[in-house]
Amino acid sequence: MIEPALRVEGVRKSYGSVEVLKGIDMQVKPGEVACLVGPSGSGKSTFLRCINHLEKINSGRLYVHGELVGYQEKKGRLYELSDREVCRKRAEIGMVFQNFNLFQHMSVLENIIEAPTRVLKISKEEAVIHARELLELVGLSGREDSLPKQLSGGQQQRVAITRALAMRPKLMLFDEPTSALDPELVGEVLAAMQDLANSGMTMIVVTHEMGFARKVADTVAFMDAGLIVETGPPDQLLDSPQHERTKSFFSKVL
């Protein structure tokens, strides 16, 4: 059996007395694209942030490529990993945010080569070559010296995707990547993501773009109130959902 890219078992997460995740189970195979959909506040983004340890989970187990995230298990006990070790694991997981979060004081090229040169210790020349290749793939050749604020939202998000890809991640997380975009710019970002999915990247995408989920996803998981209510192939989940909650959600969204 191939080790899944992501294996989640009974993950719970609370902020104070508010439980945001109430026991999530999920598996994503390598090369698969999984979309997380559901109403706001259902815990989709929090769950995504748990995967690369931006949020610490309170209980359960979360494995990326067979390795626990943020912890080490020895003789049945969990040991928290050091900042350095957590960083090493995070470097293998790319993340794209709703608000792009490009480094405002750096040019496009500097944004992309920052982590490869500082974290992976790749030479600057090599990082620049790789960055230019990636920029060409997302159609942003020639914008290397622009500052983030000189770019449109769609362009910024494509740079953010490029920046994540420059780390050669094994898994990519997308946290509502098109929610902050003007409607006419959504398409270019989705196209870049579709190309990425076609290239065989394992992706977990929190999104409200049902069209994208239908076209690109291998599985869609519907989340509500901190739980995954229903999982299935996109056509099945979107067209003939089984659960009442799923039905009522899609009847409003689609």
Of the listed pieces 37-45, 63-71, 145-153, 222-230, which binds other proteins according to CB under 8 A? Answer: 145-153
Q: Which of 147, 191, 225, 227 binds other proteins (CB under 8 A)?
A: 147
45 binds other proteins, rule: CB under 8 A? no
Cα–Cα nearest to 193, from 183, 182, 201, 185: 201
Rounded Cα–Cα distance for residues 35 and 32 (Å)? 10
Residue with tokens 């992501």: 6
244 binds other proteins, rule: CB under 8 A? no
Secondary structure of residue 218 in the 3-state scheme:
coil
Rounded Cα–Cα distance for residues 130 and 156 (Å)? 18
Rounded Cα–Cα distance for residues 45 and 87 (Å)? 20
Q: Which of 77, 104, 184, 251 binds other proteins (CB under 8 A)?
A: 104
Is residue 224 within 8 Å of residue 39, measured between CB atoms? yes
Of the listed pieces 18-26, 27-35, 58-66, 158-166, which binds other proteins according to CB under 8 A? Answer: 158-166
107 binds other proteins, rule: CB under 8 A? yes
Is residue 47 within 8 Å of residue 53, measured between CB atoms? no
Q: Which is nearer to other proteins, 137 or 225 (CB)?
A: 137
Integer angstrom CA distances of residue 145 from 7, 164, 167: 40, 18, 20
Of the listed pieces 85-93, 182-190, 191-199, 206-214, which binds other proteins according to CB under 8 A? Answer: 85-93
Of the listed pieces 4-12, 127-135, 201-209, 222-230, which binds other proteins according to CB under 8 A? Answer: 127-135
Q: Which of 129, 141, 168, 243 binds other proteins (CB under 8 A)?
A: 129
Rounded Cα–Cα distance for residues 223 and 24 (Å)? 9
252 binds other proteins, rule: CB under 8 A? no
CB of 4 to other proteins, least distance (A): 21
Of the listed pieces 36-44, 123-131, 185-193, 194-202, which binds other proteins according to CB under 8 A? Answer: 123-131
User: Strands, E, within the chain: which ranges?
Assistant: 6-15, 18-28, 33-37, 59-64, 67-68, 71-74, 77-80, 93-96, 171-175, 202-206, 219-224, 227-232
124 binds other proteins, rule: CB under 8 A? yes
83 binds other proteins, rule: CB under 8 A? yes
The pattern of x and - marking residues 49 through 68 that bind other proteins according to CB under 8 A reads ---x-x--------------
Q: Which is nearer to other proteins, 147 or 227 (CB)?
A: 147
Task: Summarize the chain as % helix, strand, coil (round to 5).
Answer: 40, 25, 35
Summarize as ranges the residues that interact with other proteins (CB under 8 A): 52, 54, 83-84, 87-95, 97, 99, 101-107, 109-110, 114-115, 118-119, 124-126, 128-129, 132, 145, 147, 149, 160, 163-164, 167
